[in-house]
């Protein structure tokens, strides 16, 4: 492991805004994010596959009355977001190191108000499609923790993943679905407050359009009515 990575992991071990294996709250936080971590009752917003957490940190500054949690497998990436949030004195951002597979180990039914997925790996190979973060396998997990009518947002440069997601969300009963194939040429860009993730910067510099969608999750009970 590189020296840089070792330093980042050491920072994560000390940072109070990073929850990872071995930290006191990691095993007990499910259902208690507001009570035990944020110490308020503000809505909880997740950024899945957050990488360096630019969206979580950016939105946390725009919306001080919401709580943001960036989630990723990779500790060295989370460390950058954690340090930035600390430098900015933000108390409404946390980072959780886990595989999103295990989301329900960390969030109770209805604990999450909103979910952002920013530039996830497209997993375009047929045998990997189940690993897409917008595959029904994952959508079921999001529905299990989401509040009624909570928004799911996706930003990606990958048209194949975007088309797949639009289709899956329609089947999944997500309502008020709105989408644009070119965010920065659309009226929806105002909702983004100029925040760009690292991967977004890479792709927009190469001239790729950003695709964006949002839709509201219905609870299972509403779908069955």
Ligand X SMILES: C[S@@+](CC[C@H](N)C(=O)[O-])C[C@H]1O[C@@H](n2cnc3c(N)ncnc32)[C@H](O)[C@@H]1O
Binding site for ligand X (CB under 6 A): 49-51, 72-74, 77, 99-101, 118-121, 197-200
Nearer to ligand X, 39 or 73 (CB): 73
Nearer to ligand X, 131 or 173 (CB): 131
Nearer to ligand X, 77 or 143 (CB): 77
Question: CA 61, 101, 24: angle at the middle one, nearest 5?
Answer: 65
Nearer to ligand X, 77 or 153 (CB): 77
Say which residues have a Cβ less than 8 Å from residue 158's Cβ, sequence separation at least 6: 122, 124, 211
Task: Give the CA count within 13 Å in the CB-facing half-sphere of 3.
Answer: 0
Least Å from the CB of residue 40 to ligand X: 26
DSSP-derived 3-state class of residue 91:
coil
Residue nearest to ligand X (CB): 51
Q: Is 121 noted as a catalytic residue in this protein?
A: yes
Least Å from the CB of residue 171 to ligand X: 21
Nearer to ligand X, 158 or 219 (CB): 158
From the list 72, 76, 121, 157, the catalytic residue is: 121
Least Å from the CB of residue 50 to ligand X: 5
Q: Which of 184, 211, 195 is nearest to 63 (CA)?
A: 195
Q: What is the DSSP string of 182-195?
A: -GGGSGGGGGGTT-
> Is the distance from CB of 188 to CB of 180 less than 8 angstroms?
yes
Least Å from the CB of residue 156 to ligand X: 9
What per-residue string of b and e applies to 160-181 under the rule 16 or more CB within 10 Å gives b? ebbebbbebbeebbbeeeebbe
Structure tokens at 79: 């460390």
Catalytic residues, by residue number, are 121
């Amino acid at each position: 492991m590189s020296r840089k990575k070792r330093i980042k992991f050491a920072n994560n071990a000390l940072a109070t805004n990073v929850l990872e294996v071995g930290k006191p709250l990691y095993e007990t936080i499910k259902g208690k994010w507001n009570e035990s971590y944020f110490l308020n009752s503000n809505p909880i917003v997740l950024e899945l596959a957050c990488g360096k957490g630019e969206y979580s940190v950016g939105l946390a500054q725009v919306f001080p009355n919401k709580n943001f949690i960036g989630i990723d497998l990779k500790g060295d990436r989370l460390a950058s977001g954690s340090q930035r949030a600390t430098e900015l004195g933000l108390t409404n951002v946390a980072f959780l190191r886990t595989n999103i597979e295990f989301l329900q180990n960390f969030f109770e039914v209805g604990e999450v108000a909103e979910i952002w997925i920013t530039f996830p790996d497209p997993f375009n190979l047929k045998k990997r499609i189940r690993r897409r973060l917008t595959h029904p396998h994952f959508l079921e997990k999001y529905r299990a923790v989401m509040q009624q009518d909570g928004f799911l947002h996706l930003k990606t440069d990958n048209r194949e993943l975007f088309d797949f997601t639009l289709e899956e969300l329609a089947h999944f009963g997500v309502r008020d679905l709105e989408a644009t194939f070119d965010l920065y040429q659309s009226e929806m860009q105002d909702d983004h407050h100029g925040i760009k993730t690292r991967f977004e910067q890479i792709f927009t510099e190469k001239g790729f359009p950003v695709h964006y969608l949002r839709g509201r999750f219905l609870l299972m009970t509403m779908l069955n009515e």
